[in-house]
């Protein structure tokens, strides 16, 4: 399989090259030249596989520059029950009521769905850097969960440093403590005076400085990196197999969305032939994506209009992976994609929106603080299940948009322990947390506060690398 930039520049590349490269040189995002199709016989043969074996089968369709036995071993080492809360299924399905499910994606080390891909990325980086005898300096942006997942996956790994940008004062106390309490020498936390989008813009600006990127060996762990999305495709198949008995059945997924990485992985699974009826995008008050799916207008907002909400990891107004989806909608016309994403807002016509809904199966809705608190409370009272605020945004939208006779799977993107204040407001109870994370907020923290300025971030990286 070869990979191309959404903006059409550069030459086709192989998987391990784009794994380390992250953002394409023309500022676009890598996509495989085509989505491999999975026929009914293959789909049936995958039904009984373990999660690790399923991951291997799916990854093999996209990766031809890692020997099969090595890739199989990396998948087996990554997707072990011990790493994912002792759950043999890795992403178990929990039935809330007939036809409505939660797919548990947050049983990994940092209690959010990011672990599903990041644990594999850590193994892939170490493997490939070892083969090449190279180092990688990862520059990432987080609104709360990517950061800790990346740091836990990369801490102590040979050949990797992590520089993680987060929006100063905008994450929950638990999320901050998860990241800032790490004392490993290869982990560097930078709190940016700004919002998540400022952090992501800095990652892109530094990556687009090609001379700097090359000389400092800068890589990415955000869903900018295709490998993140690829690993996330696997749990759509795993969820489908658990919710159905035969391939004649269809299911829908509702995905709490911010940077559009998670639901974009669902789009890839659907393009591969997984029988998905609808992909429902659920946003919080930062509803740029919901606005697009309702009206055809994509209007990213600035920091002043990006609200700080009680589902903070979704406080995003410029969804990076939306570019990948639009590239597919525009039949991979790189010039058209570049024109749209180098500019500000854009609009697509009614015929295109018809395809977005009917052909690509997208629908959307938004949730507010009042909605998510009410949803957490109702879910607790009706089912005895505590859910986190982001999952609540998903459940609220799923309940409004689910169709009769089509099972709806809501992706559980984090555990309640990460967002205690909102859980207490909704239920009057402190959410449970794993014993080893008790008191994490009281540990000493290590973080450097910087302006939303790429030059300042470059200076910090250079200083840490002993270059400035």
Ligand X SMILES: Cc1ncc(COP(=O)(O)O)c(C=O)c1O
The footprint of ligand X (CB under 6 A) covers 112, 144-145, 223, 256-262, 313-314, 390, 413-414
Q: Is 261 in the site for ligand LJ64HWYM (CB under 6 A)?
A: yes
| Sequence-distant (≥ 6) Cβ neighbours of residue 326 within 8 angstroms | 6, 298, 337, 340, 341
Active-site entry in 114, 204, 318, 418: 114
Q: Is 222 in the site for ligand LJ64HWYM (CB under 6 A)?
A: yes
Positions of E strands within 111-223: 136-141, 160-167, 187-193, 218-219
Contact partner at residue 142 from ligand X, ligand LJ64HWYM, none, CB < 5 to 8 Å by partner kind = ligand LJ64HWYM
DSSP single-letter state for residue 318: S
Positions of E strands within 303-456: 346-347, 362-366, 408-412, 448-451
318 catalytic per annotation: no
Complex with ligand LJ64HWYM: residue 261 or 407, whichever CB lies closer = 261
The least distance separating ligand X from the CB of residue 228, rounded to whole angstroms, comes to 9
412 has which bridge partners? Answer: 104
The least distance separating ligand X from the CB of residue 310, rounded to whole angstroms, comes to 12
Question: Pick from 110, 142, 283, 286: which binds ligand LJ64HWYM (CB under 6 A)?
Answer: 142
Q: How far apart are CA 181 and CA 29, in angstroms?
A: 32
The least distance separating ligand X from the CB of residue 240, rounded to whole angstroms, comes to 19
Q: Is 143 in the site for ligand LJ64HWYM (CB under 6 A)?
A: yes
Complex with ligand LJ64HWYM: residue 303 or 406, whichever CB lies closer = 303
Q: Is 223 in the site for ligand LJ64HWYM (CB under 6 A)?
A: yes
Q: Is 145 in the site for ligand LJ64HWYM (CB under 6 A)?
A: yes
Q: How far apart are CA 468 and CA 463, in angstroms?
A: 5
Q: How far apart are CA 114 and CA 150, in angstroms?
A: 8
> Which region among 253-261, 275-283, 415-423, 451-459 touches ligand LJ64HWYM (by CB under 6 A)?
253-261
Contact partner at residue 312 from ligand X, ligand LJ64HWYM, none, CB < 5 to 8 Å by partner kind = none
Q: How far apart are CA 221 and CA 203, in angstroms?
A: 10
Contact partner at residue 413 from ligand LJ64HWYM, ligand X, none, CB < 5 to 8 Å by partner kind = ligand X
Q: Is 119 in the site for ligand LJ64HWYM (CB under 6 A)?
A: no
DSSP single-letter state for residue 35: P
Q: How far apart are CA 439 and CA 182, in angstroms?
A: 14
Q: How far apart are CA 66 and CA 141, in angstroms?
A: 28
Contact partner at residue 147 from ligand X, ligand LJ64HWYM, none, CB < 5 to 8 Å by partner kind = ligand LJ64HWYM
Tokens 């000389």 — which residue?
215
Q: Is 317 in the site for ligand LJ64HWYM (CB under 6 A)?
A: no
Question: Pick from 28, 109, 258, 389: which binds ligand LJ64HWYM (CB under 6 A)?
Answer: 258
Complex with ligand LJ64HWYM: residue 46 or 236, whichever CB lies closer = 236
CA 210 to chain centre: 25
101 has which bridge partners? Answer: 95, 409
Sign of the C-alpha dihedral computed for residues 170, 172, 177 and 178 taken in this order: negative
Q: How far apart are CA 292 and CA 211, in angstroms?
A: 36
The least distance separating ligand LJ64HWYM from the CB of residue 139, rounded to whole angstroms, comes to 12
Task: Identify the three-state secondary structure at position 198.
Answer: helix
Residues that bind ligand LJ64HWYM (CB under 6 A): 142-147, 222-223, 258-259, 261, 313, 320
Give the residue numbers annotated as catalytic, written as ranges: 114
């Amino acid at each position: 399989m070869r990979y191309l930039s959404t903006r059409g520049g550069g030459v086709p590349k192989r998987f391990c090259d784009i794994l380390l490269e992250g953002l394409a040189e023309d500022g676009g995002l890598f996509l495989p030249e085509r989505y491999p199709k999975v026929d009914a016989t293959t789909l049936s043969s995958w039904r009984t596989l373990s999660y690790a074996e399923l991951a291997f089968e799916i990854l093999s369709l996209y990766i031809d520059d890692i020997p099969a036995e090595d890739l199989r071993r990396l998948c087996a080492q990554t997707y072990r029950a011990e790493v994912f809360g002792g759950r043999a299924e890795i992403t178990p399905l929990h039935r809330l009521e007939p036809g409505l499910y939660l797919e548990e994606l947050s049983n990994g080390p940092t209690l959010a769905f990011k672990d599903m891909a990041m644990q594999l990325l850590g193994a892939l980086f170490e493997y490939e850097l070892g083969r090449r005898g190279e180092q990688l300096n990862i520059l990432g942006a987080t609104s709360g969960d990517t950061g800790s997942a990346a740091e836990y996956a990369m801490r102590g790994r040979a050949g990797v440093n992590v520089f993680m940008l987060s929006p100063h004062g905008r994450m929950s106390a638990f999320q901050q403590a998860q990241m800032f309490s790490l004392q490993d020498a290869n982990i560097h936390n930078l709190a940016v005076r700004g919002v998540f989008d400022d952090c992501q813009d800095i990652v892109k600006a530094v990556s687009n400085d090609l001379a700097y990127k090359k000389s400092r060996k800068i890589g990415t762990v955000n869903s900018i990196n295709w490998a993140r999305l690829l690993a996330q495709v696997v749990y759509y198949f795993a969820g489908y197999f658990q919710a159905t008995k035969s391939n004649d059945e269809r299911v829908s997924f509702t995905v709490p969305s911010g940077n559009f990485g998670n639901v974009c992985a669902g789009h890839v699974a659907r393009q591969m032939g997984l029988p998905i009826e609808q992909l429902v995008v659920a946003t919080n008050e930062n509803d740029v994506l919901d606005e697009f799916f309702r009206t055809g207008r994509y209007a990213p907002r600035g920091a002043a209009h990006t609200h700080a909400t009680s589902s903070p990891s979704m406080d995003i107004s410029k969804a990076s992976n939306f570019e990948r989806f639009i590239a597919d909608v525009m039949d991979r016309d790189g010039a058209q994609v570049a024109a749209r994403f180098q500019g500000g807002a854009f609009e697509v016509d009614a015929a295109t929106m018809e395809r977005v809904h009917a052909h690509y199966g997208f629908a959307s809705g938004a949730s507010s603080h009042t909605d998510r608190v009410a949803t957490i409370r109702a879910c607790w009272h009706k089912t005895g299940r505590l859910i986190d605020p982001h999952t609540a945004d998903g459940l609220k939208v799923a309940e409004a948009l689910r169709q009769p006779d089509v099972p709806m799977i809501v992706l559980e993107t984090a555990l309640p322990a990460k967002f205690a204040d909102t859980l207490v407001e909704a239920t009057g109870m402190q959410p449970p947390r794993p014993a080893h994370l008790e008191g994490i907020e009281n540990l000493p923290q290590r973080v450097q506060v910087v302006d939303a300025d790429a030059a300042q971030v470059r200076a910090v990286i250079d200083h840490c690398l002993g270059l400035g």
